[in-house]
Each structure stands twice: as C-alpha cells, then as structure tokens.
Amino acid sequence: MALAFDEYGRPFIIIREQDKKSRLRGLDAQKANITAGKAVTRILRTSLGPKGMDKMLQSPDGDVTITNDGATILEQMDVDNQIAKLMVELSRSQDYEIGDGTTGVVVLAGALLEQAEKLLERGIHPVRIAEGYEMASRIAVEHLEHIAQKFEYSVSNIEPLVQTCMTTLSSKIVSRCKRTIAEIAVKAVLAVADLERKDVNLDLIKVEGKVGGKLEDTELIYGILVDKDMSHPQMPKRIEDAKIAILTCPFEPPKPKTKHKVDIDTVEKFQTLRHQEHKYFNDMVQKCKDVGATLVICQWGFDDEANHLLMHHNLPAVRWVGGVELELIAIATGGRIVPRFQELTPEKLGKAGIVREKSFGTTKDRMLYIEQCANSRAVTIFIRGGNKMMIEETKRSLHDALCVARNLIRNNFIVFGGGSAEISCSIAVESGADGYPGVEQYVIRSFAEALDSIPMALAENSGLQPIETLSAVKSQHIKEKTPFCGIDCNDVGTNNMQEQFVFETLIGKRQQILLATQVVKMILKIDDVISPSDY
Ligand code: ADP
Ligand code: MG
C-alpha cells in the first residue's frame, strides 16, 4: 500500500498488486476447500489397514522414504495448499497426542467433507452442518465409551498389551515380525513406566538403529547403547563394575583466545609451555582417578596427546557423546553430569554393572553397551535391518507401538478395530438422528455415513466388495447387537474382532472422531479465501 498525492495535493491510496490477488467467496470457497481436503484424503485412503499400500516419497535432495504411516506421508509430501496443510496438521496432532491412527483420522475427515459437499448442494447452510456434526460427534463419542471394554493386564501378564501393539503393527511394513517388535515395545514401556501414577516417559526409551543383520535381531537392552567406541583402540573392551565420570568439560588445556598472544622464541620457553600443558593433562586425569572413576564419558573431543595419556593412565574414555545421550546415561547410571573438573566428587559418578564394546560387520563399526545400571529405568531398543529405509520405517512403526502401549497404561479401555467401532457408532448416530426434528437430522445421518468410510476403505484395500461387505457386517451388528464385528481384512474366516485380537485404544479412537470433526467444522466456516495468485 502506498500514499500518493495528485497534482492538486489531494492524497490517494494506491493498493499495490490488488489485481494479482485471487479471491473465492461463499459457496465457491467452501467447495474449493472441500475439494482440496478430499484430494489429500484420496492419497492416504489406500494406506489404511493391514492390507494398505505403502508410499514412496522422494525428498528434494534425493532421499527416499518408504512408509505406511499417515503422518509421515503427509509430512513429507510438501503440500502448499492451505486447506491441505490443515489436513497435514490434523494428522500431526493425532500423532502428537496419540501416536497411532494418523491415517484413519484423515480418512474420516475426508469422508465428513465429502458428505458436507452433498449437504451444501442440498442448500443447507454451512453453519448448520457444522452444528450438526458437533452433535453427531457427541453421540458417537458417548457410544464409543459405552462399547469400550476395560482390559486387564499386569506386569506378569503382558499378553493383552502385546496383542494391541500387534494390531498397530499389522498394517506396517514390519508386520512380518510384529510379535517380536510388539513384545519389545511392551517390555520397554513397562520398564520405564510408573504404574502407580499411570505415567510413562517415552523419552527414557532410546531407539538406535544400525544397518545390518535381520529385523528379527532387533533387541531390547536394559541400559544405554551409544553409537561410539573407546577413544583408543588399546583401551579395554569390557569394564565390570564401572564408575563413570560424565563430563561436559573438554579434556584440553585452556587455549589462548584470539586476543592474546603467546610468543615462543626460545627452546626453554617452548619446554616450559609443553611442561605446563603436560601437567594440565596429568592433573585432569589424576582428578578423575582420585575420585575413583574407571571410565570417562566426555561430551567433547580430546586430542591425541590427551588420548595417549588417558591410555597410559589406564583410564578408558569415550569422546563426542551427544547431550541427549549424556543425559540418558546420567539417568540410567544414577550419575551427575559434571561441567568442571573441580566439581568432580565420588558421589557424582554413575554406576554400571558392565560396559562393553561390541563390533558389527566388517567395517569395524563399534557400539558401546552400558548395562546393569544402577537405575534400570532407561532402556534402549536396538533395531537391525537390511537397509536404512527399513530401519527408519521400523523406528516409525515402533513409535506407534510404544505410543499405543503408553496409552493403554494411561487408560486401559479398548474398543475393537477393523472398522467395528466405527460401524457400531454409525448405527448409534443414525438412530440418534431420529431425535432431532430439524434439518440437523440430515446432517447427523451424513455423519453416520461418513463413519462408514473407515470400514469401507478397509474392505476396499483388502480386495473385498466394499458395499456388500459393509452391509453384511452392519446387518449383523443390528441383528446380533455385537459391537465387535468388523472387516475380516486378512481373510481369517471370522469377522469377530474379539477372536482376531484386533484391539485399539479408546482414547485413540475418540481423539480421531473429535479431531476430524473439529477440522471439518473449521473448513466449513471459511467462506472467503484471499490468496496471491500464481502469476
Ligand atoms: P493408522 O495410521 O490410522 O493407524 P493403519 O494403517 O495402522 O492406520 O490402519 C489402522 C486400521 O486398520 C484400524 O482401523 C484397525 O482397526 C485396522 N486393522 C488393523 N489390523 C487389522 C486386522 N488384522 N484386521 C482388520 N483390521 C485391522
Ligand atoms: Mg496404525
């Protein structure tokens, strides 16, 4: 915008680039937005369920990601439509809150938009649609809580937890060894969980991966695994009853700053300096030895001289350990991170039963295992796999499984999967619609229809006839009043999800319905889109 004056001194305002803006108003805006939302959904729809397809995405710098995880697909797709970005955000918030169900939430939102489009065409006002959806989602969530089942587990009986994690993993690329991974996830979560407070801190679970070996070799380590090796090849590879000094100060003499100048013009001066430096190192090493440390883990590097001295003094050391790892090591070993040598005391040392170095492959790739720690509440999951893509995808799938296990510890109610919960809610919403005399009932019925899209997508992706299968299951629900009949994706022979052990968490499902409704309401209320146009 600019202010200008004409020849008579009268001011006028020039609005620059006004004609370059494109603008959509009213019904056109809503329709355009709905189309954009639906386009995103169409991409994810085929990835839903145990027979869902995977996507291969290439980043601008050539990195390839193969994944089945909704949140990851959208994250990497680099969309630039604003409404499409809302869908990405939707998937991300599901990922953030729950961890699983990121594809399902987008599919549901897309179906709600599709239904909204039909309602708009019938002349129903967008605000009425938004209100109707809100009412319907309330009915659905209430019904969901009604059909949810409490599910019992204990530390000695982890099977139910494992089964639920397996449902999550069954739709991933790693489903081949879902049992192993599900067990690892559950054990890891139980190791760090505070069952009394029903609290799980997933930060205490470190996930490390290394190319090589088989997926089946993935293991849970009750301790910390660091992708580093001893700083000197001749240092011991195995230390028992280690007392660990965890340092964030460098093993170096202080360096002169650029402001200062050191003039060395005689041999004597050089020797004094060298002597000083030597003494400095010796003091530092001695300090560590004095407090009783048998291993030094240092955030900084140290040069060859220090390295040699450490070796010479029989003090094994590990250098360049990252800050996060340092923190985990401190938690696991019950030690304190020491920022200055002067502050080193015996109580600040961490304790570990065994510290060992293990090498992999032929490339002399070595990793450091810190096990039998004083405090076992920090664990590491070590993933092996054929290539980097596989390991990355396993990490993502494992994240889903860990989140599911955590959610179950927080709230141990489950609903049945395979679309059965959605069908049951759909029936409840449908019959709830009869109680509303106004236009709302159409909207509420549309919501019920949108819920059906999840079982439809599951059936479609498994190569079944979607409409036939859905109507068969639905009539079964109504006739037998069984909330656990779903889509038999794996062709097991029964559509009873209780028998197939396909469970999902109640809070995950509830969040899906609530989030999807919220986003769709938001999109429907936009009636003016002003954007810079492309030229
Ligand atoms: P999301 O990212 O939403 O978790 P998934 O690809 O993991 O998407 O698919 C989850 C859906 O697949 C859920 O509705 C779940 O109930 C269903 N599902 C998972 N395993 C099975 C199974 N063995 N049989 C039928 N449905 C299943
Ligand atoms: Mg899933």
Sequence-distant contacts of 365-368: CB under 8 A, at least 24 apart:
365/210, 365/212, 366/228, 366/229, 367/208, 367/210, 367/225, 367/226, 367/227, 367/228, 367/229, 368/225, 368/226, 368/227, 368/228, 368/229, 368/230, 368/318
> What is the token pair recorded at 131?
């209100």
Give the pLDDT confidence score for residue 267 in this predicted structure: 92
> What is the token pair recorded at 158?
């982890």
Please say if the pLDDT value at position 535 is more than 60: no
Please say if the pLDDT value at position 15 is more than 70: no
The dihedral sign for the CA sequence 73, 74, 76, 78: positive
Per the document, the length of the chain is 535
Position in ligand 1 atom list of the atom nearest CA 47: 6
Residue identifier of the C-alpha nearest atom 12 of ligand 1: 49
Position in ligand 1 atom list of the atom nearest CA 487: 25
Residue 425 alpha carbon to ligand 1 centre in Å: 17
Please say if the pLDDT value at position 393 is more than 80: yes
Query: Among 3-12, 70-79, 95-104, 135-144, which is the least confidently predicted range?
Result: 3-12
Residue 101 alpha carbon to ligand 2 centre in Å: 5
Position in ligand 1 atom list of the atom nearest CA 500: 23
The pTM of this model reads 0.83
- Model confidence pLDDT, tens digit, residues 146-179: 988 888 877 788 888 888 888 888 888 888 888 8
Residue 144 alpha carbon to ligand 1 centre in Å: 17
Number of the ligand closest to the Cα of 509: 1
Number of the ligand closest to the Cα of 492: 1
Please say if the pLDDT value at position 13 is more than 80: no
Give the pLDDT confidence score for residue 534 in this predicted structure: 55
- Model confidence pLDDT, tens digit, residues 59-69: 888 888 888 88
Give the pLDDT confidence score for residue 14 in this predicted structure: 65
Residue 46 is among the residues annotated as catalytic for this protein: no
Residue 102 is among the residues annotated as catalytic for this protein: yes
Beta strands in 2-108 (DSSP E): 2-5, 11-14, 21-25, 55-58, 64-67
Residue 400 is among the residues annotated as catalytic for this protein: yes
Average pLDDT over residues 519-525: 90
Model confidence band, residue 425 (pLDDT cutoffs 50, 70, 90): very high
Give the pLDDT confidence score for residue 104 in this predicted structure: 92
DSSP 300: S
Please say if the pLDDT value at position 389 is more than 90: no
Enumerate residues lining ligand 1, CB below 6 A.
47-50, 52, 68, 70, 100-104, 167, 170-171, 417-419, 454, 458, 486-487, 489-490, 500, 502, 504
Whole-angstrom CA distances from 520 to 83, 126, 397 are 10, 11, 28
Residue 494 is among the residues annotated as catalytic for this protein: no
- Model confidence pLDDT, tens digit, residues 259-287: 777 788 899 989 998 888 888 888 888 88
Mutation test residue for ligand 1: of 167, 393, 507, the one with most atoms within 8 Å of CB? 167
High-pLDDT (> 70) share of the chain, %: 96
What integer best gives the mean pLDDT of the chain?
86
Residue 211 alpha carbon to ligand 1 centre in Å: 28
Mutation test residue for ligand 1: of 169, 502, 503, the one with most atoms within 8 Å of CB? 502
Instruction: Give the CA count within 13 Å in the CB-facing half-sphere of 349.
Output: 19
Strand-pairing partners, residue 56, are: 66
